[in-house]
Amino acid sequence: MISSVIAGAGKGRRFKGNIPKVFHELNGREIIEYSLETFQRIDKVTEIILVLPYKWTEHKRFKKLKKDFPKLKCIIPGGRFREESVYNGLINCSGQNKIVLIHDGARPLADMSLIEKVINNTKKHGACIPVYEIFGSVKTAKNGFLEKTMENSKYFVAQTPQGFDKDLLISLMEKIKRHFETFPDESSIFRHFGYNVKIIRGDLENIKITTKEELKMAERLLSASSSESSPLTLSRFGGREKEYE
């Protein structure tokens, strides 16, 4: 059985809204509802723990979301940093569940087939994350000017959901609780302690909404989702089924 922790406690400074980013409207629904619905539909997921800003965890909101998404177990207040928020969610997962999926609440377009692949690879390897490759040369800059070019290397951008052995992840996070701010995601914690993390091909459409422009992009992707497959993803990766070796 699998738990899902959806992290939606970010302040969304770059989004520049007067309410938490995950409660902004996307094609007539709150952003957070898309992720809740997706995980609700996955049979292997038995519970969802939603992490929100403290002021947005009131009983009325939980009651409404629980009615629409019965797998929603609880709404937990987040912490000062992402990993503190994730940890708050983790310790509220059911003890019998062996795998946990950590997902960004601001990624409303995660595909069910991608999540199934994360689950299967987590069962096999103990940890799995979806990524997509950065093509072309990667640059660093300083004070508005080019500083350095990294060539002949492969760089990847991580997505969510990220899957992990739940009990191992909790134990590792407890060891670095005083340094949550130094870890950008859970896979970096696994690697910090020397554990392997399997990578699989992500989905370019599985965007994280951090700005108003990305909200508009998500709207366009949803409007185009009625087609059988998206040419954006297929042309970018050469098909959904091929994975990284």
Span 11-28, pLDDT tens digits: 656 556 678 889 889 998
Q: Cα 122 vs. chain centroid, distance in angstroms?
A: 15
Rounded Cα–Cα distance for residues 176 and 191 (Å)? 13
pLDDT of 240 > 80? The answer is no
Highest mean pLDDT, choosing among 4-18, 57-71, 103-117, 217-231:
103-117
Q: Name residues whose C-beta falls within 8 Å of residue 228's C-beta, 6 or more positions apart in sequence.
A: none
Locate 15 and state its tokens: 């989004």
**How many CB atoms lie under 10 A from the CB of residue 93?**
24
Whether the CB-CB separation of 191 and 197 falls below 8 Å is answered with: yes
Rounded average pLDDT over 219-229: 74
Bridge-based pairing of strands 99-104 and 127-134 is unpaired
> CA-CA distance, 71 to 144, in Å (whole number)?
48
In the structure, what pLDDT confidence band is assigned to residue 224 with cuts at 50, 70 and 90? confident
| 3-state SS assignment for residue 51 | strand
In the chain, where the domains are located: 2-237
Examine the pLDDT at 238 and tell me if it is beyond 60.
Answer: no
pLDDT averaged over every residue in the chain: 88
CATH 3.90.550.10 fits 2-237, yes or no: yes
**Segment among 30-39, 59-68, 77-86, 227-236 with least mean pLDDT:** 227-236
Q: In this structure, what is the dihedral angle of CA atoms 56, 63, 170, 161, given to the nearest 10 degrees?
A: -80
- Asked whether residue 229 carries a pLDDT value surpassing 70, the answer given is no
CB 210 within 8 Å of CB 106:
yes
Amino acid identity of 243? E
Per-residue confidence band for 59, with pLDDT thresholds at 50, 70 and 90: confident
- CA dist 225 and 219 (Å) reads 10
